[in-house]
Amino acid sequence: MSVFSKDFLWGGAVAANQCEGAWKEGGKGPSCADMCTGGSHTNSKRITGTIEEGTFYPSHEAIDFYHRYKEDIALFAEMGFKTFRFSIAWTRIFPTGMEGEPNEAGLAFYDDVISECLKCHIEPLVTISHYEMPFALTEKCNGWASRECIDLFVKYAKVLFNRYKGKVKYWLTFNEINAGTLPFGGYLSLGILNEGTTEFKNQVDDPMLRFQGLHHQFVASALAVQAGHQIDPECKIGCMIAYMTIYPYTCNPDDILLAQKQSNLQNNFCGDVQVRGEYPYFAKRYFEENNIRIHMEDGDLEILKKGCVDYYTFSYYMTNCTGTNPDQARTFGNLTGGLKNPYLEASDWGWQIDPKGLRYALNEIYGRYQIPLMIVENGLGAYDKIEEDGTIQDDYRIDYLRGHIAQMGEAIKDGVDLIGYTPWGCIDLVSASTGEMAKRYGFIYVDKYDDGTGDLSRKKKKSFVWYKKIIESDGDCLE
């Protein structure tokens, strides 16, 4: 008998800005993502601020999910998805974020996506904000650096809760909210564009502004949780954290302490606020030592306390090491890099593959919070090749997923309450960090390339059939 229960939520995940395209259709306004050019592993994508004639912007067409969602959802249904995680583009609902009334065409589009899911017996799992805040808010007030965004976000979230009440049971407020603890997250997650920033990977960073922005997001998220529960008491609202397991490189106590400190800041800081409703004990010293002074208004801390999430979700791709020896070789990872681990292999983008690190993470998180967990992103970004016979033999992806699912099973046996799994980019889409199409995660191949060419047709990879069997057997069939 499988350790995964019959109602375990198997599925897949995408985000609007990385798959929808149609960036100007249906009244949509430009988002922060729409201002980013293509890039690569070695060449950072640029943030242009205005649209440059003749430059390629991958989000503008992306994989055209906007026009092809029926075909795509049918493929997800064929794999047996129980849930589909997607995000709503804020700029389809409020094109600048500041309008008084929502844009009906945007809402109608998501009506259709949601009914298509429900028709296929797929539970929609909706992220309210996934790296796609209205660019107009970046221009007006430097994004989340401004408190103004709180009310605008809550207004937007309320529109969604009212419109999709009874249809959407699972919500997430901000994707990878802890991206804001790292310089990379300044523009990506907070819409902060400081003077002098042109390259996505090399942003002019102002930590105080980032943590101020994060505070605004915490308050906005907590208010949205309260509003959501009031509008639809049946719905569940979660947080979403980019979980970055950090190992000490050696057993030197200095390395151990460093790993603990980094993990507290990167992994626990945001989770503690959103699950426990208060800033963690270690925040004070971190702020003092880094000259970070946050402005809070009366009542903010109470709002946080009243807006705790119902479940905890996270992305998990890789692990890194940390240590005090500056000569150790470094490697990359999701949102941030770290030291190379001699026991692990890495993807072509230098992200170290570590299924056991997922079991470790699940135990760490569950031990800390004791609320239901969901892994809402996991997967291998890889170069896929179409063989002469037209097939895509992505055994490397199957190996990666198999290893991680096996460790999820172990964590369930350990006693962790894991309720769902939605691998990232269940259909190939634009990479968030590099803007590439070449970094593919999908079970479904999309004919779209980094120069913008491709007929956008869809093709099943070998992993498509494999994942279908996994779902059919409730995770029991891991061969």
Q: Which residues would be at the binding site for ligand BG6 (CB under 6 A)? A: 15, 18, 131, 175-176, 242, 315, 334, 377, 381, 424, 431-434, 439
**CA atoms of 153 and 143, how far apart (whole Å):** 11
Q: Which is nearer to ligand BG6, 146 or 175 (CB)?
A: 175
Question: What is the dihedral sign for C-alpha 138, 434, 342, 243?
Answer: positive
Q: Which residues are known catalytic residues?
A: 176, 377
Q: How far is CA 210 from CA 4, 148, 292, 311, in A?
A: 39, 15, 10, 25
**CA atoms of 224 and 128, how far apart (whole Å):** 10
Neighbouring-strand partners of residue 125:
85, 170
**CA atoms of 272 and 361, how far apart (whole Å):** 15
Helices 462-472, 395-414: crossing angle, 10 deg rounding: 20
**Cβ at position 469, least distance to ligand BG6 in Å:** 25
Q: Which is nearer to ligand BG6, 351 or 366 (CB)?
A: 351
Backbone angles phi, psi at 231, to 5 degrees: -70, -45
Q: Which is nearer to ligand BG6, 23 or 249 (CB)?
A: 23
Contact 278, 304 (CB under 8 A): yes
Contact 187, 120 (CB under 8 A): no
**Cβ at position 190, least distance to ligand BG6 in Å:** 14
Question: What is the dihedral sign for C-alpha 18, 19, 24, 29?
Answer: negative
Residue closest to ligand BG6, measured at CB: 433
Contact 194, 206 (CB under 8 A): yes
**Cβ at position 62, least distance to ligand BG6 in Å:** 12
Q: Which is nearer to ligand BG6, 142 or 175 (CB)?
A: 175
Contact 37, 56 (CB under 8 A): yes
Q: Which is nearer to ligand BG6, 66 or 424 (CB)?
A: 424
**Cβ at position 15, least distance to ligand BG6 in Å:** 5
Q: Which is nearer to ligand BG6, 279 or 400 (CB)?
A: 400
**Cβ at position 130, least distance to ligand BG6 in Å:** 6
Would residue 474 be called left, alpha or beta, if left means φ above 0 and alpha means ψ between -120 and 50 degrees?
Answer: left
**Cβ at position 239, least distance to ligand BG6 in Å:** 13
